[in-house]
């Protein structure tokens, strides 16, 4: 039994090793993805407060003036007095704007290094087929964690012997100790990652089991003959009045006469920077068509929200982000030193076999 599990652990690790390293490297970076983006691009995100920020309609007008003929479908609203506004245009281009003056701070291709790292983590830059590969690798990773704990149990090594007699023994201790201390966090990352892959199906199942329903989004507006559509400022005020205490994150402008406004909102206690609350507003009547309140949303959706927050480390802020980042780095160490131990044993065995062969008598000298 033990030998079978050892072989499962060994060959499973050899098969998925390179993918595990990719997931670990990209995951550690993604733990602070937004922070890295803002840190390395201060000229795009940071502005100096100059009195009162323009209303949403003013920002959209400034964007339209800067990019005539382009349709601005979504505006990212500044999150504080020092933050820029943002929108996308054809190109594709991601544009950053000073919300006080309407000045364009800069533009870039939305496919940044960080966004590619994000897609590499989720899909290996291979679309849906890559997503399936990542999910399969994650399943194997969970098996590696469980078999690793089983193999660790008899010796129960909890310390690294830094003055070990051989590099193999040192790496063996590192593999055991690092694996032990990171096992719980890596298991959480693995399970929550698999749930994210199937979260739509899981959310629907949870709602069905509880007798609730997933809230419909982007419900069409009801056109009114001769009616004048409301502006984005009014739509924003309707949304804020519906969910008092929230901060606006962005607003999607109706693309046609049947579409509605979609306002993304965030409560102070929301687990993710992107929030999980939103309001659909009819572009003609100004009535609320549908909404999701992260404080009162049904258990099925709440479970999915919490699952994502655990996976990204947002659940308890910087502390859990750091834990998930470090755990992802530990995954890299596990993969590299595990491969080193296998290679060292393989090489030593090859040397012994060669030596034994040299000692065998030549047939003609018998």
Residue 259 lies in a domain: no
Place of tokens 């990542």: 134
Rounded-to-integer distance, Cα 250 and Cα 236, Å? 9
Residue 262 lies in a domain: no
Residue 58 lies in a domain: yes
169 and 129, same structural domain? yes
Q: What is the pTM of this model?
A: 0.88
Residue 221 lies in a domain: no
142 and 19, same structural domain? yes
54 and 40, same structural domain? no
191 and 59, same structural domain? no
Rounded-to-integer distance, Cα 288 and Cα 281, Å? 5
42 and 56, same structural domain? no
193 and 67, same structural domain? no
* Domain final position from 99, 134, 166: 99
Range(s) of the domain holding residue 339: 1-47+115-197+325-351
14 and 122, same structural domain? yes
Q: Which regions of the chain does DSSP assign to beta strands (E)?
A: 74-76, 85-89, 93-97, 104-108, 247-252, 261-266, 277-281, 288-292
193 and 143, same structural domain? yes
Tens-binned pLDDT, residue by residue, of the chain (366 aa): 888 999 899 999 999 999 999 999 999 999 999 999 999 999 999 999 999 999 999 999 999 999 999 999 999 999 999 999 999 999 999 999 999 999 999 999 999 999 999 999 999 999 999 999 999 999 999 999 999 999 988 888 888 888 877 888 888 888 989 999 999 999 999 999 999 999 999 999 999 999 999 999 999 999 888 778 999 999 999 999 999 999 999 999 999 999 999 999 999 999 888 899 999 999 999 999 999 999 999 999 999 999 999 999 999 999 999 999 999 999 999 999 899 889 888 887 776 666 656 555 554 444
88 and 21, same structural domain? no
72 and 59, same structural domain? yes
Residue 80 lies in a domain: yes
Q: SS3 sequence, 122-143?
A: HHCCCHHHHHHHHHHHHHHHHH
143 and 77, same structural domain? no
Query: Residue 34 corresponds to which tokens in the numbers above?
Result: 């937004």
Q: How many domains does the chain have?
A: 2
190 and 138, same structural domain? yes
Residue 297 lies in a domain: no
Residue 1 lies in a domain: yes
Residue 283 lies in a domain: no
């Amino acid at each position: 039994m033990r030998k079978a599990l050892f072989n499962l652990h060994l060959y499973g690790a050899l098969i998925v090793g390179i993918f595990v390293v990719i997931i670990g490297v990209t995951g550690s970076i993604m733990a602070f993805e937004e922070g890295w983006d803002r840190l390395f691009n201060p000229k795009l995100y940071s502005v100096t407060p100059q009195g009162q920020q323009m209303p949403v309609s003013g920002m959209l007008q400034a964007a339209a003036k800067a990019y005539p003929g382009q349709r601005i479908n979504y505006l990212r609203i500044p999150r504080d007095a020092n933050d820029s506004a943002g929108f996308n245009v054809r190109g594709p281009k991601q544009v950053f704007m000073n919300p006080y003056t309407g000045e364009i701070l800069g533009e870039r291709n939305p496919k940044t290094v960080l966004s590619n790292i994000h897609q590499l983590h989720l899909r290996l830059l291979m679309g849906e087929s890559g997503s399936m590969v990542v999910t399969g690798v994650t399943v194997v990773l969970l098996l590696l964690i469980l078999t690793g704990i089983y193999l660790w149990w008899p010796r129960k090594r909890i310390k690294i012997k830094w003055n070990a007699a051989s590099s193999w023994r040192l790496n063996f201790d590192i593999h055991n100790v690092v694996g032990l201390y990171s096992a719980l966090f890596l298991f959480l990352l693995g399970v929550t990652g698999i749930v994210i892959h199937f979260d739509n199906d899981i959310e629907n199942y949870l709602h069905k089991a509880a007798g609730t329903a997933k809230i419909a989004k982007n419900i069409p507006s009801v056109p009114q003959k001769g009616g004048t559509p409301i502006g984005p400022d009014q739509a924003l005020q309707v949304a804020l009045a519906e969910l008092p205490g929230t901060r606006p994150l962005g607003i999607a402008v109706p693309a046609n006469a049947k579409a509605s406004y979609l306002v993304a909102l965030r409560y102070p206690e929301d687990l993710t920077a992107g929030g999980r609350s939103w309001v659909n507003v009819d572009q003609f009547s100004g009535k609320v068509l549908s909404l999701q309140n992260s404080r009162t949303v049904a258990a099925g959706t709440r479970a999915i929200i919490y699952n994502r927050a655990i996976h990204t480390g947002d659940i308890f802020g910087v502390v859990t982000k750091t834990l998930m980042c470090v755990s992802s780095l530990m995954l890299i160490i596990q993969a590299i030193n595990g491969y080193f131990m296998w290679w060292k044993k393989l090489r030593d065995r090859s040397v012994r076999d060669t030596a034994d062969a040299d000692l065998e008598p030549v047939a003609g000298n018998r």
